[in-house]
Structure 1
Amino acid sequence: MSGILDTVNLRTQMVGQNRLELLLFNLETDQTYGINVFKVREVLQCPELTEVPRQTTAIKGMAHIRGETIPVLDLSEAIGRNAIPKEQQQVCFLIVAEYNKRTLAFLVRKVDRILNTHWDQIMAPPAEIGVENYLTAVFEHEGKLIEILDVEQILADLYPMATKVSDDVATSEVRSKAREHHVLCVDDSSVARNQMQRSLEDLGCKVTTCNNGRIAWDLLVQLAEKGNDVTELFLMVISDIEMPEMDGYTLAAMIREDPRMERMHIVLHSSLSGGFNVSMVKKVGADGFLAKFNPDDLAGVVIERIKKIEGR
Structure 2
Amino acid sequence: MAGVLEGVDQRTKLAGHNRFELLLFKLASRQRFGINVFKVQEVIQCPPLTQIPNSHSVICGVAHLRGKTIPVLDLSMAIGMRPLSREEGAYVIVTEYNRSIQGFMVGSVDRIINIGWEQVKAPPTGAGRESYLTAVTNVEGELIEVIDVEKVMKEVIGGREEAAAETIDASVSGKNDHILVVDDSSVARNQVKRVCEQIAIECTTLKDGLEAWEHLTQLLAEGVNIQDRYAMIISDVEMPRMDGYTLATKIKSDPAMRDIYLILHTSLSGVFNTAMVQKVGANEFLAKFDPDSLLAAIQKQLRTHHSV
Question: Once the two structures are superposed, what CA deviation does each residue of 1:121-157 show, in whole Å capped at 9, x if it has no partner?
Answer: 0000123558961011000110100000000011111
Letter of the 1:104 counterpart: Q
Greater shift in the superposed pair: 198-207 or 99-108: 198-207
SS in 1 for 2:70: strand
Equivalent in the alignment of 1:151: 149
1:165/1:203 contact within 8 Å kept = no
**Structure 2 counterpart of 1:121, from 119, 122, 129:** 119
Q: What does residue 25 of structure 1 align with?
A: 25
RMSD (CA atoms):
1.6
Change (3 A) 1:128 1:107: closer
Amino acid at match of 1:105: G
Aligned mates of 2:224, 2:129 — CA distance in 1: 33
User: Following the alignment from structure 2 to structure 1, what is the Cα–Cα distance between the partners of residues 204 and 108?
Assistant: 40
- Confirm whether residue 59 of structure 1 aligns to residue 64 of structure 2: no
Q: How does 1:228-247 map to 2 (within 5 A)?
A: 228-247=224-243
What's 2:210 paired with? 214
Q: Bigger shift: 213-222 or 46-55? A: 46-55
TM-score (norm 1): 0.94
Deviation for aligned residue 1:232 = 1.4
* Correspondence list, 1:269-288, <5 A: 269-288=265-284
Equivalent in the alignment of 2:132: 134
Alignment of 1:246-261 (within 5 A): 246-261=242-257
TM-score (norm 2): 0.96
Partner of 2:167, secondary structure, is coil
Deviations 1:214-244 (A, max 9, x none): 1011100000100000111100110000000
- Could you list the runs of 5+ residues in structure 1 that have no partner in the other structure? none
- In structure 1, the residue corresponding to 2:271 is in which secondary structure? helix
Contact kept, 8 Å, 2:46 with 2:86, in 1: the verdict is no
Note closer, same or farther for the CA distance 1:265–1:130 as it changes in structure 2 (3 Å cut). farther
Does the CA-based 8 Å contact 2:179-2:234 persist in structure 1? Answer: yes
Aligned to 2:290: 294
Q: Is the 8 A contact 1:274 1:291 kept in 2?
A: no
Return the alpha-carbon distance in structure 2 between the equivalents of residues 161 and 9 of structure 1: 29
Q: Match of 2:90? A: 92
What residue in structure 2 maps to residue 35 of structure 1? 35
State the partner residue of 2:199.
203
Identity %: 47
- CA–CA separation in structure 2 for the residues paired with 1:136 and 1:205: 26
**Preserved CA contact (<8 Å) 1:93 1:111:** yes
1:79 is aligned to 79
Q: Distance in 2 between matches of 1:4 and 1:131?
A: 28
Q: How many residues align?
A: 308
